Amino acid sequence: MFHLRKRLGTYVTNQGCRFRGRWSSTSTSSDSSDSSDEPAPFHEAGPHSKSLSPLLHSLAGKTDEQIVQLAREKKISQYRLENELKKAVAAGLSPDCERAVRIRRLFVSPGDASDSKDGDPLHISDEPMSSGLPYRQFDYESFYQNVLGTNCENVIGYIPIPVGFVGPLLLDDKSYQVPLATTEGALVASTNRGCRAITMSGGASSAIMDDGMTRAPVARMSTAMEAAQLKLWLDTPETLATLQEQFSQTTSFGKLRSMKVAVAGRHVYIRFKCTTGDAMGMNMVSKGVDRVLEYIGQQFANFDVLAISGNYCIDKKPFSINWIEGRGKSVVCEVTLSGHVIADVLKCTVAEMVSLNTAKNLIGSAMAGSVGGNNAHASNIVTAAFLATGQDPAQNVESSNTITLMEAVNDGNDLHVSVTMPCLEVGTVGGGTSLAAQRACLDMLGVAGAHKTNPGQNAQDLARVISATVLAGEISLMSALASNHLVSAHLKLNRNDTNAAAATNTTDATSTPTSTATPSTSTSS
């Protein structure tokens, strides 16, 4: 057992640590198979070791690529490597954490990141980085120039948010490593465990059921009778065809698909629904709608537009219309988890998961009067994915609307899990997606920019990936709640080491280390 385990508690996480430079200055041992169940005590690593970890010390003579290869061949436990780093930092020592970050990039990268600056979003560079996901030196001058007049005004600096990854996540027969930007400890570890359960069960499947961004201006007529006449005119197929022609004059990618009209006295609310290619599309739709409103005004003399948005769209607010009618991408994602994966990875049973999902996500949400909140913590994953990929974080409000369903199948031996997300608002061009770091995260998923042959495909694929990652997060948190692992996971992963040590000694002194590479972790419920 580690000498520091009792004092510091048991620390677990999911990411592998594959390291740069030398973890120590003396050893060149090749004993890196990590075959023993317990490493030696810290103090046996040697007097010149910066980490005092025998495992890290034994890798000092190996190159980054050699360590990555050992990790890929599973000759070195990723969990053990990162756990060793964390213990060393907690003990006040100086392991090479920068090397750990760099080699994680090598591990996730599809090719040799060190030789592919232009083609790899995770390339390695000792120079200030103006492209790709920065990890060392940051080209802040290029960054300030890029955001000028585009992403932010009166800039006074930037806030670093750590970016982790989860995966492999097998979705629609393709494997993904998904970037998540968050400051909440345990979120990445928890979601990664869900990814592991999905992949071990054969992968998830997803479908885009609808795709359309909405904008709903509010106009006022002279009388309620005129408002009714306008609605009847707008509801005809002939009028829709005419307005589609007007809309198409403003954009090459946007298409007006439908209108939903509501009348309240003299007020008329017209909810335009439009496809927007690979853009999230609010600006594109607003421009097209403005042209349509101009045309309507030419047909109705008393048509008075009060605002381009009348809160019938609806953007960045929790409303039932998005939950019912959809907005952005409407996605469903499912997986059937095998019974042995539920027992071995999730540490609970099919019956426990089904019972808890009904009591919490269905009945509990109904008791609270929730709209679109029939889930455990979809917002956690949606927000982290949005921040990493340059989406509008405020649209998390409606994009997180999710219903999570769980059913026992195959004579109760396996578990069918699905998430349905009717209003996931994402894009791969425009806004924050043009910034280097966020574009690099999109590149990791293979969806950066506009699709070359099928406009809109990249944005739809991003929505699929986010929905599958939400599915992974739901699976892991619900299993942690079912097995009562929530509190212990937060004590281990969601605090700094000093506080965690004190809390662990007080409330979890009898905890034991998790034997798997991705422990029973979770985030706020």
The residues assigned a catalytic role are: 184, 316, 392, 490
DSSP characters for 48-99?
A: TBSS--HHHHHTTTS-HHHHHHHHHTTSS-HHHHHHHHHHHHHTT----HHH
* C-beta separation of 398 from 317 below 8 A: yes
Helix pair 457-482, 486-493: axis angle to 10 deg: 110
Three-class DSSP category at 374: strand
DSSP 265: T
Query: What residues pair up with 179 in beta bridges, in sequence order?
Result: 165
CA distance 265 to 224: 5
Question: Computed from CA positions of residues 486, 488, 494, 499, in that sequence, does the dihedral angle turn out positive or negative?
Answer: positive
| Contacts of residue 499, Cβ cutoff 8 Å, sequence gap at least 6 | none
22's tokens: 């030398």
Q: What are phi and psi of 490, to 5 degrees?
A: -70, -35
Q: Point out which residues pair with 204 in neighbouring strands.
A: 171
d(CA 412, CA 126): 54
Nearest Cα neighbor of 321 from 366, 362, 271 is 271
Supply φ then ψ for residue 79, to 5 degrees.
-60, -45
